[in-house]
Amino acid sequence: MQESKIMRQEKTFKTATLYRIVMTDHMCPHGLKSKDLLERQKFVVEDHHLVNREEIDAFKSEYDVKSTPQTFIDGDRIGGFDELSVFFGKTKKIKGATTYKPIIVLFAVAALVAIALTWLVYETIFIGQTIEWFISVSMVLLGLQKLQDVERFATMFLNYDLLAQRWIRYGYIYPFVETGSGLLMMAGVLTWVSAPAALFIAIIGAISVFKAVYIDRRELKCACVGGDSKVPLGFVSLTENLMMIGMAIWMLSKLWWSIT
């Protein structure tokens, strides 16, 4: 009886064979991720380490593959970590496919930062100032994404921005203007500089996006979160510019009323 129970349990175990690089000076991170994913799927992993260049080259030659790690299940080669994720239904992402995830995450973080600042200063979670902080923090975070690789951003920006297409250097200046305006608006200082600057780039941006997407019907990727962005150019990009326009007009109106 006990022996029969053990045999049934053993039959429920699924086995996968994994080949990954484990060298003294390098351990493949995708190999570790593949092993973890297999174990989370209740597989017993036959973990084969490739410990030197000779073993790696021999493995690639034997199985006619160009990269490691490689996973085999029931004798069939599944592939590397990305292919393994698709195999288990963990992702349906296609290389080069568009996604709104980066911009959603960025706006969510900006909202949380704005709420945190509101609580820190006013000991409540939402007032009118929270919206100002949300937009200004969003501008800073968006600018930071662009500043990570200004060259790539400027190249992607040229696909649709009307001013950048006429004056190439504008694409290199834009991230600094956006970040600087956001910081000044967040601090509530030099509004006479930050608000007009934000208003200018936002109006040009809104017109450019509207023309490219809704008039020319072009399918492009937005440079809003940097030059390697997979975010599609469209409603979100237009909303970003409209938020900046609204924020700039509001800040200018506050400045006007404070003067008068």
pLDDT, tens digit, for every residue of 161-202?
Answer: 999 999 999 999 999 999 999 999 999 999 999 999 999 999
Q: Are residues 139 and 81 in the same domain?
A: no
Indicate yes or no: pTM above 0.85: no
pLDDT at 227 over 80: no
Name 79's Cβ contacts closer than 8 Å, sequence gap at least 6: 70, 71, 87
Domain limit, last residue, from 87, 122, 148: 87
Q: How confident is the model at residue 98 (pLDDT cuts 50, 70, 90)?
A: confident
For 15-49, write each residue's pLDDT tens digit. 999 999 999 888 999 999 999 999 999 999 999 99
Domain limit, last residue, from 55, 87, 119: 87
Q: Are residues 25 and 122 in the same domain?
A: no
Residues 50, 20: contact at Cβ < 8 Å? yes
Q: Are residues 106 and 235 in the same domain?
A: yes
Q: Are residues 83 and 119 in the same domain?
A: no
Residues 133, 117: contact at Cβ < 8 Å? yes
For 49-66, write each residue's pLDDT tens digit. 999 999 999 999 999 999
Domain total in the chain: 2
Domain limit, last residue, from 41, 58, 87: 87
Nearest residue to 205 via CA among 231, 176, 171, 182: 171
Q: Are residues 116 and 234 in the same domain?
A: yes
Q: Are residues 77 and 124 in the same domain?
A: no
Q: Are residues 82 and 155 in the same domain?
A: no
Range of the domain at 130: 101-259
Say which CATH number the domain at 20 has.
3.40.30.10
For the chain, give the mean pLDDT. 90
Q: Are residues 33 and 64 in the same domain?
A: yes
Q: Are residues 30 and 78 in the same domain?
A: yes
* Mean pLDDT in residue range 140-151: 95
Q: How confident is the model at residue 6 (pLDDT cuts 50, 70, 90)?
A: very low
Q: Are residues 61 and 151 in the same domain?
A: no
Q: Are residues 216 and 105 in the same domain?
A: yes
